Structure 1
Amino acid sequence: MQLELNALPEVHARVALIVYTDHRQEQGVVMQHALGERDGALYMAEGVNVTRDTIEMLLKLNALQTLTLVPEHVVALGVGSLAWVVERQERKLLFQGATDKAVAALDGQVFPQPRLLFVTRGAQMFAYALRGTERPTGNTPLYRAPYFNIFSNHAVCNGSMQCPGAITPENADAWTQAFFYSNFVKPADSQKRWATGGTYRELWDAVREADEFKDEWLVPAGLTLEQAVGGR
């Protein structure tokens, strides 16, 4: 929705928000500058950190009052970030190019998957596993996602992933599909991501035999949902 200034009651420029970034636009800060008049001309004061009052003022503006319906599986939502749950289901796993030949032989086969939690921030995706069936809260403990291509900080190696452009509740399923449509090639860290004995191939053989991915096969990640969505 586009709102013309002349369609509003009498308005005055009060605050300017300016985004300062490095030349790669990877790091930056938002500063607020008070606006006023001096000798009939508009001037901008020195920048200061954005205050809570300014944020609350922005949230009250008509242009920002549109509500978005959030699907039940979304558990956290922020600007350019999202966290959602993927319930247990069978999925095809892609192991084309896997360095472990026994694992590579499973390429394209379908296996039951554990309950998962994904978090996206910008172009980065983080993967975790969940136990139980209840909707997770901030105190819910997370577990390591039992897949290759995941680093020790739970970040997913983009590799062959075709990441969707936007991070919105409507795009959560597309991000999930992008994760499973990529090839799991090799471990990205030295941590063991499953609690059963034996190899990674033997884990998925056990999953097939049990016709489920049992909760007790998950390894604690050492953090809670609140810590994960907070970027800790």
Structure 2
Amino acid sequence: MEDITNSFGTYFYPSTALVFYQSEGGYNDTYVEYFDMDRNGTPINAHPLTAGEAKKLATALNIDEENLNQLRSDGILPNNVLSFDAKSATIIWYTKAQFRELLIAEGLGIKSGTAHVPPMVWKADRESLHVYALTTNRKPTLNTPLHYAPFFNVYENGTVCMGTVDIKASETGSIKELMTLWESYFFNSYFSHLMADHNPVNGNCVLLWESLIGSESIFPNEFLIKNNKKLKDIIYESAKN
């Protein structure tokens, strides 16, 4: 028979041991004794814990709070994830064309309702959201051109104005949950106005959504405008930050 135990992973051998002694009297006096371990795991060479050994212990037990706040995957990553950076908590993903409920502020003169929205690319961290549009449901590649997201409340650079929405994205480290939160925030906030005179569509944005909401019409790609960016541009932007 072949011995394959070395393939099971790294084995950790005991190297040191600490014994804490505490007074039973009214004083909270504590004494720490440090032991080396021999090859059989037996404590030897007992001596008081030195300052140098205490420093090594503190280093080993130190937990970086930033690491605790990093993104994590709850199992297999969703197929629509394009890129993510755990440390900065930045995720880039895409969604296919779909019918979504849109909430429209009264001032636009459009009724809220269900409308077909184009495929989208989303870029988010725990504090901000950027959105872009695609012309096809195919998974984008690095060279796929991006278009302006054809929605109100979106700046020319793709940043979404969330208004008074209470963002609680900082409370999760889950990639999947963070994506779900941002999509929910985006579609459950009221679309109210164009941002800084930026018209995100080739035509009248109000008339476009007035014709789509409440109908079975598919979003017309001829209304999308290229924004001179490709997917790789926003991925590399994230890598630099």
TM range (shorter): 0.5 to 0.7
- CA 1:163–1:8 in 2, change beyond 3 Å: closer, same or farther? farther
2:160 aligned with 1:156, yes or no? yes
1:77 is paired with a residue whose SS is strand
Aligned to 1:229: 235
Kindly tell me the number of residue pairs found equivalent between the two proteins: 172
Q: Distance in 1 between matches of 2:100 and 2:206?
A: 16
Q: Distance in 1 between matches of 2:97 and 2:114?
A: 13
Instruction: Give ranges in structure 2 of 5+ residues lacking alignment.
Output: 1-11, 17-50, 57-72
Cα pair 1:81 1:167 within 8 Å, conserved: no
TM-score when scaled to structure 1? Answer: 0.64
Cα pair 2:146 2:228 within 8 Å, conserved: yes
- CA 1:83–1:164 in 2, change beyond 3 Å: closer, same or farther? farther
- CA 1:186–1:8 in 2, change beyond 3 Å: closer, same or farther? farther
2:216 aligned with 1:207, yes or no? no
**Match of residue 184, structure 1, among 157, 173, 191:** 191
Query: Deviations along 1:113-136, whole A, 9 cap, x unmatched?
Result: 111111002311001001112111
Query: Deviations along 1:142-198, whole A, 9 cap, x unmatched?
Result: 100011111222111121334342363322122101101001111112222111x3x
**Match of residue 130, structure 1, among 127, 131, 134:** 134
Instruction: Give ranges in structure 1 of 5+ residues lacking alignment.
Output: 1-6, 12-39, 45-65
- CA 1:129–1:67 in 2, change beyond 3 Å: closer, same or farther? same
**Match of residue 96, structure 1, among 95, 98, 105:** 105
2:190 is paired with a residue whose SS is coil
RMSD: 2.9
Cα pair 1:151 1:157 within 8 Å, conserved: yes
Cα pair 1:87 1:115 within 8 Å, conserved: yes
Query: Deviations along 1:97-117, whole A, 9 cap, x unmatched?
Result: 54xxxx3332x2111111111
Which amino acid is the alignment partner of residue 168 of structure 1? S
Cα pair 2:97 2:137 within 8 Å, conserved: no
Cα pair 1:128 1:154 within 8 Å, conserved: yes
TM-score when scaled to structure 2? Answer: 0.62
- CA 1:120–1:137 in 2, change beyond 3 Å: closer, same or farther? same
Aligned to 2:32: none
Which amino acid is the alignment partner of residue 98 of structure 2? Q
Deviation at 1:137, TM superposition (A): 1.3
Aligned to 1:71: 78
Q: Distance in 2 between matches of 1:213 and 1:104?
A: 20
Which amino acid is the alignment partner of residue 149 of structure 2? A
Which amino acid is the alignment partner of residue 82 of structure 1? I
Runs of 4+ in 1 over 3 A off after TM superposition: 7-11, 40-44, 205-210
